[in-house]
Chain A
Amino acid sequence: MGLAKRIIPCLDVNNGRVVKGVNFVSLRDAGDPVEIARRYDEQGADELVFLDITASSDNRDLILHIVEEVAAQVFIPLTVGGGVRRVEDVRRLLNAGADKVSVNTSAVLNPQLIEEAASHYGSQCIVVAIDAKQIRNEQHNDSRWEVFTHGGRKATGLDAIEWAKKMQALGAGEILLTSMDRDGTRHGFDLALTRAISDAIDLPVIASGGVGNLDHLVDGILQGHADAVLAASIFHYGQHTIQEAKQYLAKYGIEVRL
């Protein structure tokens, strides 16, 4: 009777192949991106996210060909991120067939990029990816979440909640929120972080980082207040299909597109 919560498989693409790393090391090959995209589409994925983690700029254009090929066969929304630095990069990805473009490091280095891209192409296609890490302050016995860039290697000093609000004000249409503490651990989302951001802004929030089983997806939605949940390894290696995940969510009264 209403808007469904979305399940989004994430494909990390390195040199034209889908890979999955644990904390950005020991990348394991998971297969051909077009083939994997088609499989998830058949299983009922609500959207697909492609993150280009190719380090070498020589192979940057590979992702454009992959997006073109996927967009010609898969008729669900596609989000593509990784290495987006200028409005021109946004344009190239949209023209290749992406429906949304995700910006991470460059949003921190140049927040105007978000404003420019949103005013050019509309907020609906601008996703801001936030990588956040919990920072404990032992003296005050409290903690906050700080924004990290460059694949989690660089601290920015920015408070994640304030940053999400600022991105909303500049025209972002959605937030892709990853907990650096949980990413690759399979221990579940950082629920406090997800909830804090989701409750602080009006934009939809995609929770990411740490999914190891289907209960984690349920928790992300019911406790984390996420509008969508993203996962990679539980789907890539056949632990669960998207359809199984949806049926599991439905048992908890969560609205899904079956």
Chain B
Amino acid sequence: MTDIAIVDYGMGNLRSVSKALEHVAPTASIVVTSDPAVVEKASRVVVPGQGAMPNCIHELTVRGLKEVVLEAAKNKPFLGICLGLQMLFEESEEGNMKGLGILPGKVRHFLREAMIDADGNKLKVPHMGWNQVYQTSRHPLWNDIANDARFYFVHSYYVETVTPEITAAYTLYPTSFTCAIAKDNIFAVQFHPEKSHLAGLTLLSNFAKWEPSSSH
């Protein structure tokens, strides 16, 4: 049986996600798959994704993966990365697209007029590079990761939650946005742990071992 299924719906480079997971969980069976049956049987599911949200929802749907992803989000250790975080919400400003609607909230574009730092310098979009992640809740996936550790980001949209209790971390650019959420068996991040050196590898290693309890 597959320990970790990385859902391949044709959006971007999944090789780095699988390589990083293989590195931290060398004995686990890890597959990159677009087969709904494999995702359904896997004990853990990772939904990565880069590119545009409308394409992403479209590709998930036509490949018959939407149902198994929704199902996995109900009962298995589930890790969303980048678009894999954004798609969990109700809707996105990117192409005015409906998301999977598992979590209440919206995906918004960085507001151009607000992109100025404290010294008056222009901030670029996409938000690209290493920024600090401030944890707001204790969670097994944060084990052994410093509370202001830097992770690698590359995105122009961010999630705006309406239920602040699901926020697991925030980042400043220049104002604060939710960069990680946690709810029951779901953990999802805006940054790329697979590209975030030791902090990222630690998070992936924590995910590979994570046993979500119903009480969390």
Q: Which residues of A contact B (CB under 8 A)?
A: 1-6, 41, 46, 71-73, 75-77, 94-99, 119, 121-125, 173-174, 199, 202-205, 225, 227-228, 257
Q: Which residue of the partner chain A has the closest CB to B15?
A: A97
* Cα-based distance from A194 to B135 in the complex (angstroms): 36
Contact A125–B50 (Cβ < 8 Å): yes
Q: A3-B127, A122-B51 are in contact. Are A75 and B150 (CB under 8 A)?
A: no
Please report the total number of B residues contacting A with Cβ < 8 Å. Answer: 42
Known pairs A6-B130, A202-B125. 17 more at Cβ < 8 A?
A2-B173, A3-B127, A3-B130, A75-B16, A75-B19, A75-B200, A76-B197, A77-B195, A97-B13, A99-B13, A121-B13, A122-B12, A122-B50, A124-B50, A205-B124, A227-B128, A227-B129
The contact of B19 among A71, A77, A205, A257, by CB within 8 Å, is: A71
B19 adjacent to A173 (CB under 8 Å): no
Q: Give, as a whole number of angstroms, the nearest-CB distance from B141 to chain A.
A: 17
Stretch at the interface among B33-41, B85-93, B115-123, B162-170: B115-123
By a CB distance below 8 angstroms, the chain A residues around B50 are 121-122, 124-125
Q: Which A-chain residue is minimally distant from B172 (CB atoms)?
A: A2
> CB-CB < 8 A to B131: which residues of A?
2-4
Q: How many A-B residue pairs have CB under 8 A?
A: 111
Q: Is the CB of B132 within 8 A of A95?
A: no
User: Which 10 A-B pairs rank lowest in CB-CB distance, beginning with the nearest?
Assistant: A122-B51, A257-B130, A124-B154, A4-B130, A94-B13, A204-B124, A257-B150, A122-B50, A3-B131, A204-B128
Q: Is the interface of B mostly helix, strand, loop or mixed?
A: mixed
A residues less than 8 Å from B201 (CB atoms): 75
- Taking a contact as CB atoms under 8 Å apart, the answer to whether A202 and B12 are in contact is no
Complex CA distance for A245 and B1, rounded to whole angstroms: 47
> 25 A–B contact pairs at CB < 8 A?
A2-B117, A2-B132, A3-B127, A3-B130, A3-B173, A46-B129, A72-B23, A75-B16, A75-B23, A75-B196, A75-B200, A75-B201, A76-B197, A77-B154, A96-B15, A122-B50, A122-B52, A124-B128, A202-B122, A202-B124, A203-B124, A203-B126, A204-B124, A225-B121, A225-B122
CA distance A5 to B172 in the complex (A): 15
